[in-house]
């Protein structure tokens, strides 16, 4: 076979694979925008909740990068989110940086730095000790923010964040329309970038590390360096979520650096399905709405119901809601062939 015909066969066999993933990118973006529009039409008076869901979705996406794609066990992901939120808030309150895009940049840098710190520390251990390190880290971050009250407002929270109008045109209004639109725009951009990154050579390297780090070392690549890099990216994504939260609520509380938020984000990820960006989004939306509806319907036993939902998913759909649905569709397609 000559080189030219060989390249042709390679090209023809790979073209459908490429087309399919590009189609899924567009479908994913379309779903995000459609859900955002539906949310806006259904809950015009509760855009704050929808914006909060968007910010948490960014947190869960960031967790998926390290847990779903690299196999790192962590219960401290809110450290990245909260650092982003505080960085954006402190930039506004203490340095007068009130342009929302500059606050966003501060959040991204704050989150990425926290990601670097957490990554370097957490990767010292594996398995259970790793999980314990992550819990220790989130408590340290929380306590640090609590004690540095002249900067963070301590347990009262960091108040007085007054972002300028977005691009000088759209003021952050009382109904939260600007914040919601800003949030959905950020989510769409981050989602599109992450879709590219998880398919890139680096994304492939991380999937390999998750499956067999020893094999990756035998290929001459350092799993640790790669995962720390992923942690920095994860921190940047969580930082976007944190900054969005700071900008939209105009306050940053210690709860954004809490163990509870870390654990909840892991619950959401498992609920939706790890190792897939769609799973992270699905888990966040289902969990947050379920929590909102059930806690309003039954304020005393809502946590029990959240627990029951999670047990049901883990027992009957161990790959998560999205993962199970995707596997079902794949089987049907296979059977149809």
Partner 1 sequence: MSAIFEVRNLKRSFGGLAVTDDVSLSMAPGDRVALIGPNGAGKTTFVNLVTGNLKADAGDVRIGGESVTHIDAIGRVRRGLVRSFQVTRLFHEMTPAEHVALAVLQRDGRAGRLFGHFLAMPDVMAEVGDLLGKLGLRELMHRRVSEIAYGQQRLLEIAVALALKPRVLLLDEPAAGVPQSDTGRIEEALADLPADLAVLMIEHDMDLVFRFAKRVIVLAAGAIIFDGTPSEVTRDQRVREAYLGSYANASHAA
189 binds partner 1 (CB under 8 A): no
13 binds partner 1 (CB under 8 A): yes
Nearer to partner 1, 177 or 199 (CB): 199
Q: Which stretch binds partner 1 (CB under 8 A): 38-46, 121-129, 226-234, 261-269?
A: 226-234
3-state DSSP assignment of residue 38: helix
Distance between CA 328 and CA 337 in Å, rounded?
15
Q: Which stretch binds partner 1 (CB under 8 A): 5-13, 57-65, 71-79, 94-102?
A: 5-13
Contacts of 162 (CB under 8 A, 6+ apart): 92, 98, 250
Q: Which stretch binds partner 1 (CB under 8 A): 10-18, 234-242, 246-254, 297-305?
A: 10-18
Q: State the nearest-atom distance from the C-beta of 21 to partner 1, in Å.
A: 8
207 binds partner 1 (CB under 8 A): yes
217 binds partner 1 (CB under 8 A): yes
Distance between CA 51 and CA 129 in Å, rounded?
35
Q: What distance separates the 2 farthest-apart alpha carbons in the chain?
A: 73
303 binds partner 1 (CB under 8 A): no
Nearer to partner 1, 36 or 205 (CB): 205
Among 220, 335, 336, 337, binds partner 1 (CB under 8 A): 220
Start-end of H helices in the chain: 3-42, 47-63, 78-95, 100-122, 127-147, 149-152, 177-199, 201-211, 213-218, 223-249, 259-272, 277-297, 302-316, 320-336
3-state DSSP assignment of residue 123: coil
208 binds partner 1 (CB under 8 A): yes
Q: What is the DSSP string of 42-86?
A: H-TT-HHHHHHHHHHHHHHHHHIIIIITT----S-THHHHHHHHH
Q: State the nearest-atom distance from the C-beta of 235 to partner 1, in Å.
A: 15
Q: Which stretch binds partner 1 (CB under 8 A): 2-10, 67-75, 106-114, 297-305?
A: 2-10
20-49 positions binding partner 1, by CB under 8 A: 21
Among 79, 87, 205, 281, binds partner 1 (CB under 8 A): 205
304 binds partner 1 (CB under 8 A): no
Size of residue set near partner 1 by CB under 8 A: 35
116 binds partner 1 (CB under 8 A): no
Q: How far is CA 123 from CA 99, 130, 139, 160, 327, in A?
A: 36, 7, 17, 37, 31
Cβ pair 88, 299 in contact under 8 A: no
Which spans of this chain sit near partner 1 (rule: CB under 8 A)?
1, 3, 6-7, 9-11, 13-14, 17-18, 21, 196-197, 199-202, 204-205, 207-208, 211-212, 214-215, 217-222, 226, 229, 233
């Amino acid at each position: 076979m000559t080189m030219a015909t060989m390249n042709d066969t390679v090209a023809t066999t790979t073209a459908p694979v490429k087309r399919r993933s590009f189609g899924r990118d567009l479908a994913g973006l379309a779903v995000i925008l459609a859900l955002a529009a539906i949310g806006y039409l259904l809950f015009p008076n509760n855009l704050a909740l929808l914006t909060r869901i968007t910010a948490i979705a960014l947190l869960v996406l960031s967790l998926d990068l390290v847990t779903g794609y690299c196999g790192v066990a962590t219960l401290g992901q809110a450290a990245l989110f909260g650092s982003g939120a505080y960085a954006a808030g402190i930039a506004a309150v203490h340095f007068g940086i009130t342009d929302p895009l500059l606050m966003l940049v501060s959040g991204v840098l704050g989150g990425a730095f926290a990601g670097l710190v957490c990554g370097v520390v957490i990767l010292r251990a594996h398995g259970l000790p790793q999980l314990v390190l992550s819990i220790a880290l989130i408590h340290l971050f929380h306590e640090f923010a609590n004690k540095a009250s002249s900067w963070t407002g301590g347990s009262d929270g960091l108040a007085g964040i007054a972002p300028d109008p977005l691009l000088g045109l759209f003021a952050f209004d009382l109904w939260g329309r600007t914040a919601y639109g800003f949030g959905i725009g950020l989510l769409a951009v981050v989602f599109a970038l992450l879709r590219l990154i998880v398919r890139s050579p680096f994304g492939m390297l991380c999937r390999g590390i998750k499956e067999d780090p020893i094999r990756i070392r035998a290929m001459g690549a350092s799993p640790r360096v790669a995962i720390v890099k992923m942690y920095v990216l994860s921190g940047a994504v969580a930082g976007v979520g944190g900054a969005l939260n700071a900008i939209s609520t105009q306050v940053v509380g210690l709860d954004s650096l809490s163990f509870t938020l870390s654990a909840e984000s892991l619950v959401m990820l498992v609920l939706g399905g790890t190792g897939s960006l769609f799973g992270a989004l699905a888990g966040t939306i289902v969990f947050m709405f379920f929590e909102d509806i059930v806690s309003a319907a039954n304020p005393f036993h809502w946590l029990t119901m959240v627990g029951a939902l999670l047990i049901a998913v883990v027992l009957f759909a161990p790959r998560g809601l999205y993962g199970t649905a995707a596997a079902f569709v794949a089987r049907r397609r296979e059977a149809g062939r």
